[in-house]
Amino acid sequence: MQKILIIEDEKNLARFIELELNHEGYQTTVSTDGRRGLDLALSENWDAILLDLMLPELNGMEVCRRIRQANKSIPIIMITARDSVLDRVSGLDSGADDYIVKPFAIEELLARLRSMFRRVEALTSNDLTTLTFKDLVIELESCIVKKADEVIGLTKREFDLLVIFMSNINIVLTREVLLNKVWGYSTGVETNVVDVYVRYLRNKIDDQNEGSYIHTVRGTGYVMR
């Protein structure tokens, strides 16, 4: 049974989500403030977290950042009443995997959860425990990335993107393919977000004195070779 942590201060909404998820067969725990939610997120194993943006004690953005700083790769869907482009980008940049705006239909939330779980399963279904390319090594089970034995800190999204590239060496991947594999079409984000995260990833793994690991294929997408 998959375990989902709900961090939401609107008690009626939190209870509604809890009941619907329980009905779908998920095991749930609810926290109504950010600080306790963060403690629960870090102290237990979860299959997903539903995280409100506006929370007492500690806001959702900070909760998300601290979860990622602790190298927790738990899938996170951010829930908020704010729907500006800046809010969506900020939520994703803080480490969230998806974003849903209030008010929402429970069917949409369930669909996003299913989509996210499928992406996680696809990324972890490889029987290999490590991926290696040149001096880069990914330890899949611990979600650790090393370059020449030095650990590189990546966000969940950057890590997933690197796994896709290192699982497809010398294969050109279009922006649409990368968007589907890492974000899922249900997120509603544009393909240019792929370019943004490739840039983030290059800044962390590339050496300025050497060529990039990830090459741009003009008009198509990217390839690692």
* Residues 46 and 130 both lie in one domain: no
**Residues 65 and 119 reside in one and the same domain:** yes
Rounded Cα gap, residues 211 and 16, in angstroms: 52
Greatest mean pLDDT range, 33-42, 102-111, 131-140: 33-42
Predicted confidence (pLDDT) per residue in 55-64, tens digit: 999 999 999 9
Q: Structurally, how many domains does the chain consist of? A: 2
Whether residues 115 and 12 share a domain: the answer is: yes
- Which one-letter DSSP state was computed for residue 54? S
149 in the same domain as 119 = no
With CA atoms as reference, report the closest residue to 21 among 96, 60, 77, 68: 77
Give me the pLDDT at residue 86, please: 64
Does the pLDDT at position 50 exceed 90?
yes
pTM: 0.62
Using only C-alpha atoms, what is the Rg of the chain?
18
Q: Residue 35's domain spans which residues?
A: 3-123
Q: What residue type is 154 in one-letter code?
A: L
d(CA 184, CA 206): 26
Per-residue pLDDT tens over the stretch 154-198: 888 889 899 999 988 989 999 988 888 887 755 556 778 889 899
What CATH number should be reported for the domain holding residue 16?
3.40.50.2300
Same structural domain, 190 and 210: yes
Question: Is the CB of residue 125 less than 8 Å from the CB of residue 137?
Answer: no
Q: Answer with the residue of higher pLDDT: 94 or 108.
A: 108
Q: Tell me, yes or no, whether 38 and 87 share the same domain.
A: yes
Report d(CA 103, CA 84) in Å as an integer: 14
- For residue 78, what are the β-bridge partners? 51, 99
